[in-house]
Amino acid sequence: MSFVTYVPVVEATEIAAGTMRKVDFDGRSIVVAKVEGAYFAFRPDCPHSGTNLALGSLDGKVVECPNHHFRFDLKTGKLIDPIGGCPDMAVFTIEERDGMLCLKLEI
């Protein structure tokens, strides 16, 4: 049996539209992006090289790694145009609650 909780990680006002930012909380890190009014959360490390994806670029709902230019869907984490055997990136559920962005955790 799992327990679901939501952990506040950053104030919603700190993530501007069309941007992403690495956020540290409880000894962990995620990247939070805001695109077209929706928030997305994903692991900061590119699954191919470990490069910080927050240093990459956003193109709509796609994040591009600054190192080898692998591109990932923000919602699903799926690699776009799979080449070179790069795995998908990990994505997480994030919701705005009372002005805070809260990460869904299953314990």
Instruction: Say if residue 64's pLDDT is above 90.
Output: yes
Regarding beta strands 100-106 and 94-97, do their DSSP bridges make them parallel or antiparallel, or are they unpaired?
antiparallel
Backbone angles phi, psi at 14, to 5 degrees: -85, -10
Closest CA to 53 of 36, 26, 77: 77
Tell me the HSE value of 86 on the side-chain side, using a 13 A CA sphere.
26
Query: Averaged over 31-35, what is the pLDDT?
Result: 98
Query: Averaged over 36-56, what is the pLDDT?
Result: 95
The pTM score is: 0.92
Contact 33, 40 (CB under 8 A): yes
Cα–Cα distance between 88 and 8 in angstroms, integer? Answer: 25
Compare 84 and 100 and report the one with higher pLDDT: 100
The per-residue pLDDT for range 9-27, each reduced to its tens digit, is 999 999 999 999 999 998 9
